[in-house]
Amino acid sequence: MINAEPIRVGEEPRFKLAQKLKERLTGVKGEDFFFTKPLLREVLDEMLSVVGFRVYVKEITDFSYIEIDYYDLNEVENQIELQDVLINKQYIILNI
């Protein structure tokens, strides 16, 4: 994240990846991307879409520390169990 924004000598980057995201990306091969004037979020979302993730800002502290984490788009939570459902189909016939 050191290249996410211009910083002065001696300054720390504001953007940090959450430890969970760092661990999850360990061993994931990089892809080739090409961007023209993108926003940081667009770049991260595009890069992480390869593994089915989307980024979100987990924590902002005085705008000097911005922690970025992810959620898994393929994670299964709160499954809905369907009972027998009657579906009423209606057909429309048009005479031309």
At 14-44, the pLDDT tens digits run 888 889 888 888 887 777 777 777 888 888 8
- How many angstroms separate the CA atoms of 66 and 15, rounded? 5
Residue 6 lies in a domain: no
Residue 84 lies in a domain: no
- pLDDT at site 46: 83
Residue 82 lies in a domain: no
At 71-89, the pLDDT tens digits run 888 776 666 676 665 555 5
Counting Cβ atoms within 10 Å, is residue 83 exposed (0-12), middle (13-18) or buried (19+)? exposed
Residue 85 lies in a domain: no
Query: Whole-model pTM?
Result: 0.61
- pLDDT at site 89: 52
> Residue 48: pLDDT above 80?
yes
Residue 47 lies in a domain: yes
Domain count, the chain: 1
Residue 23 lies in a domain: yes
- pLDDT at site 85: 56
Torsion, Cα 30 31 34 40, to 10 degrees, reads: -50
Residue 89 lies in a domain: no
Higher pLDDT, 19 or 94: 19
Q: Supply the range of the domain harboring residue 62.
A: 15-72
